[in-house]
Chain A
């Protein structure tokens, strides 16, 4: 019993000693390595911010993005697809008309790769005699993924031919600094162009200043060809891309998609397949009735759900 009491007293004494010790610990400053890490975070942020602001890109190009399928940064496109005259300040160069670099002059395969699966799977479905029909080129960003399937239904019904080109993550800046559009117009012998661009640049500030030159150059590439620019299906108010395009293409050549309401995919941006089909139905109405150059767009009786001939553009390793 006495031993137990003794032990208890010992424990209490230990606790009493521990109390001031704990207090002592709580008074301690943060360890040195805490500051080392804060310093490291700050130094790294300053380093990369400085490089980004002064050079415009990061010094070591590891070209990992070459494999990516969307969201190419604008800089990487500059590096590998097109070189505007003033590479040091692309945005300031944009206000004047940029000079295109012929990318596809010699060989398409040299600068783009075509998804093997898409090639294998795509063909003209029951192609009717389209000699009197239009050769439609649907070209632009990822919004074409589902639009093309429904447009193909219209083409089958109305005796048009179509070819689709999807450049994932593309913007007016990319199309405006190379001759991709002109190349595919030539290659497909298109008689009518449908262009979907703008969805990847809804929130760019001072857009008129930065993009006017590119938009003009895109329109120039189409020459006298009838075309309709399909505006982006806004999920938020844009900073002016819709107004900018409309201003330059003029009435009858711009379908203002932002006025429609869409059911979105999980990414919150792309319309779902059924919503994209409805979108295409509305575009077809416009093409048949309100466009500057109307074309036959009688609604098809069914969804064939077939992919049209498609070329997918993506960056290749240099």
Chain B
């Protein structure tokens, strides 16, 4: 055994194996961090410095040299915002604009330069040579946190944070750094100013959430992904039922992957005494598209509402402007996910869906909102609208997405469904289990959480060991990256 290699693996950035919550190396670090944290957390300065240092190291292990970009950007935004908070009038506005240009400029260069270049050159009918730009992990998430901090200070909804350490800790806190939730400064910074208390119940709830997150990510998402990847990678080669199951499978996969990550992030925060808010609330139970966006990626949708939709005029400037504002917000929300026309299309279609939803409610005057049949119908339509749009989100191209949707309706291949159910039994079982678990109402979920808290520790320990065993059995040789890491 070469110890130098082991140490290098642990401490040096490995592009092919970035540090992720579901990797054994992170587990090792988690034990060390929690142990040290318990010893020092009562001292505000030590706690902040320690977690800040680990968070930066975590980002280095995830994104390598881009940790310098993160440090540089957050430092620049801090000092510009500090300067801005002492200014009034035009100066204040210019400094906010400087912050916005800086953050969006960096985000734009890394995420959108090639996309813009390709499209501009295509319009001119010329060949574009892609720039060799690597996307820093989590840049979209921390950029939005930086912007919300600067805008909140500009709006005087938040005081400029005097402690640079507190501010840097807020931006870089490792559980939420690379894939959210997009925590607001006005919710997080006050937690740092007062004494952090690690409570027994919060520790239990935190660990329970981590276990839930592991189940979602490592069992459901990763297993379903294996089959989904095959179908989406070669859509023409699979029959209608096979394709349909992959489409449903992807809807569950993306939910379990992303919400699993945020569950782990929120759970870790809870164990250390921090509240990161919530990011998902049973989105596939939504009975309308408006409802869906109140339940899916809540931290992003509320960010878009507060910093884009409302500043655009929200619903204050008449019906047509409201609809246009919705469309713009969702188009940009789509673009936030990636520099690709498919994401813009995905966002645009959601925007259009929201407009139709608003119009429908206007026509029916909300009279159907309590009708049970209308609710079921609303749920069914919403769910399938969302799932159909996930196909565009996942497919390599628009053409592939259309091919997949067409393939589902190939009538001759439907008798194969029995063969499919036999061959892919575990896939189908996991799919049904995920749907059943998702259907559990929130109140019942609280009961389950309370039952877990009351369970003797030895039972919890055995359950955890069994869970790890199942994860190891189900996982491949590689740790699967989280889908939202790329955004």
Contact = CB atoms under 8 A, between A and B. Distances in A.
Interface in B353-376: none
B468 A31 contact: no
Interface size on B, as a range, is 35 or more
A155 to B, nearest CB: 18
Interface stretch (A10-18, A66-74, A185-193, A284-292): A66-74
A172 to B, nearest CB: 14
A71 B476 CA distance: 5
A240 B27 CA distance: 30
A58 B473 contact: yes
B76 interface: no
Contacts of B469: 58, 60, 62
A272 B400 CA distance: 11
A27 interface: yes
Contacts of B477: 71-74, 169
Given A22-B195, A115-B423, A266 B203 contact: no
A107 interface: no
B476 A38 contact: no
B16 A236 contact: yes
A113 B271 CA distance: 46
A28 B2 CA distance: 43
A270 B473 contact: no
B130 to A, nearest CB: 9
A117 B242 contact: yes
A116 interface: yes
B457 A236 contact: no
B184 to A, nearest CB: 24
Given A30-B41, A37-B207, A68-B226, A58 B472 contact: yes
Q: Secondary structure of the B side of the interface?
A: helix
A47 B465 contact: yes
B198 A40 contact: no
B200 interface: yes
A38 B38 contact: yes
Interface stretch (B107-115, B156-164, B228-236, B328-336): B228-236
Interface in A37-80: 37-38, 40-45, 47-49, 58, 60-65, 67-74
A265 B226 contact: no
B450 interface: no
Contacts of A32: 200
A90 interface: no
B419 A38 contact: no
B426 interface: yes
Given A29-B38, A64-B470, A236-B15, A116 B416 contact: yes
Interface of B: 5, 15-16, 24, 27-28, 30-31, 34-35, 38, 41-42, 195-200, 203-204, 207, 223, 226-227, 229-230, 233-234, 236-239, 242, 271, 394, 396, 413, 416, 419-420, 423-427, 457, 460-461, 464-465, 468-470, 472-478
Interface of A: 22-23, 25-38, 40-45, 47-49, 58, 60-65, 67-74, 113, 115-118, 120-121, 145-146, 168-169, 202-203, 205, 236, 265-267, 270, 272-273, 305, 307
19 contacts: A27-B42, A31-B198, A34-B271, A38-B31, A43-B461, A44-B464, A45-B24, A48-B472, A67-B424, A67-B427, A71-B475, A73-B477, A116-B416, A116-B419, A116-B423, A117-B413, A146-B234, A236-B15, A273-B396
> Which 5 residue pairs of A and B lie closest in terms of their CB atoms, listed nearest first?
A71-B476, A26-B195, A31-B200, A67-B426, A30-B38
